[in-house]
């Protein structure tokens, strides 16, 4: 697939339409122009192939390819009725998959719609999870991003464990309105060895994930150097995330409820359940 830069991404975003129910679609004729098809009859063949691919994938065609009639000008003030299609993101993905592979923009379109389709799949899957499983997913992401943040901090010049502890506290102070790790630990009424991230709900975890990803990105993007500058950056990012939550009318992270069960315990219980299920699975023999 081709590399997707910001300007190419914007080309596909610019022709996206939003319905009243917040669902999105692309007009096939507008997409054909972006994909460098000069004649509709050639792109209509692509739509035919994409429609067949949709059917063979087990999806309802009408859910992804909505035929519409439009009036277009043909010169001298004359209009004529033409057929167009409102395409879902998945329909667009199938269209670019069936487009002319020699066109560079086709490869770019494949990348764009593949990424967007995957993001939606992930979002849909996540929204179907219960609260404990949402916590597990976000906590797993935080573990990975915290490792990346630690590396970015080292590259910025944080060497000792003490420097990194101060750095981490700064991020929490920004996000939690002045509360540091010890304060949050006490506020949640946690035991001595409990980790505060293990006693956060999915919403609180998501706020911290945003703090972590944006700090890591800013340290790298601006090539911030020095323990003091990196620590100040972490605090600033945390404070801006807090301000965003406030602007959106959300609950401040320190005021969100603390789950009764730690994520570590949820994880152990689910692993145990999987093992129990595996033991009950009948032995499959050839007949």
User: Rounded CA gap, 40 and 167, in Å?
Assistant: 58
| Residue 16 β-bridge partners | 26
Whose structure tokens read 């209509």?
44
Q: Can you give the pLDDT at residue 183?
A: 94
User: Rounded CA gap, 132 and 261, in Å?
Assistant: 9
Q: Can you give the pLDDT at residue 74?
A: 65
Own/partner long-range contacts of 245-251 (Cβ < 8 Å, ≥24 apart): 245/207, 250/203, 251/203
Q: Can you give the pLDDT at residue 186?
A: 94
Nearest-5° Cα angle at 34, 28 to 36: 105
pLDDT tens, position by position, for the chain (287 residues)? 334 455 666 888 899 999 999 889 999 999 999 999 999 999 999 999 888 888 877 788 899 999 998 877 666 667 788 899 999 988 998 898 888 877 878 878 877 887 777 677 767 777 888 898 888 888 888 888 888 899 999 999 999 999 999 999 999 999 999 999 999 999 999 998 899 999 999 999 999 999 999 999 999 999 999 999 999 999 999 999 999 999 999 999 999 999 999 988 888 887 777 667 656 655 444 44
Q: Kindly list the distances between the CA atom of residue 265 and the CA atoms of 127, 134, 173, in Å, as whole numbers in the listed order.
A: 22, 14, 27
Residues 6+ apart with CB under 8 A from 147: none
Q: Can you give the pLDDT at residue 154?
A: 94
Strands (E), the chain: 16-18, 24-27, 65-73, 79-87
User: Rounded CA gap, 208 and 248, in Å?
Assistant: 16
Residues 6+ apart with CB under 8 A from 41: none
Q: Can you give the pLDDT at residue 97?
A: 84
Q: Where are the domains of the chain?
A: 6-127, 131-270
Q: Can you give the pLDDT at residue 113?
A: 82
User: Rounded CA gap, 127 and 67, in Å?
Assistant: 30
The pTM of this model reads 0.61
Instruction: Give which of 105, 91, 12, 108 is closest to 50, Cα–Cα.
Output: 91
Longest Cα–Cα distance of the chain, Å, equals: 81
End-to-end CA distance of the chain: 46
């Amino acid at each position: 697939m081709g590399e997707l830069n910001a300007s190419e991404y914007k080309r596909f975003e610019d022709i996206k339409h939003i319905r009243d129910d917040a669902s999105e679609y692309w007009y096939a004729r507008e997409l054909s122009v972006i994909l460098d098809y000069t004649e509709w009859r050639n792109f209509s063949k692509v739509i035919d192939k994409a429609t067949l691919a949709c059917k063979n994938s087990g999806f309802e065609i009408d859910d992804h390819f909505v035929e519409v009639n439009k009036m277009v000008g043909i010169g001298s003030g004359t209009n004529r009725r033409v057929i167009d299609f409102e395409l879902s993101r998945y329909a667009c993905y199938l269209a670019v998959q069936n487009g002319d592979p020699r066109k560079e923009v086709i490869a770019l379109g494949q990348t764009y719609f593949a990424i967007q389709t995957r993001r939606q799949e992930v979002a849909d899957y996540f929204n179907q999870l219960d609260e404990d499983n949402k916590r597990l997913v976000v906590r797993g992401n935080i573990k990975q991003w915290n490792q990346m943040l630690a590396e970015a901090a080292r590259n910025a010049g944080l060497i000792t464990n003490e420097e990194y502890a101060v750095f981490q506290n700064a991020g929490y102070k920004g996000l939690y309105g002045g509360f540091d790790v010890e304060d949050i630990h006490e506020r949640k009424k946690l035991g001595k060895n409990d980790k505060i991230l293990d006693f956060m709900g999915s919403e609180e975890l998501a706020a911290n994930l945003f703090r972590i990803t944006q700090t890591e990105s800013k340290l790298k993007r601006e090539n911030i150097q020095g323990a003091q500058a990196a620590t100040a950056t972490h605090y600033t990012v945390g404070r801006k995330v807090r301000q965003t939550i406030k602007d959106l009318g959300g609950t401040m992270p320190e005021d969100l409820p603390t789950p009764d069960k730690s994520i570590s315990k949820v994880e152990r219980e689910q692993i145990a359940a999987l093992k129990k299920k595996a033991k009950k699975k009948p032995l499959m023999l050839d007949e």
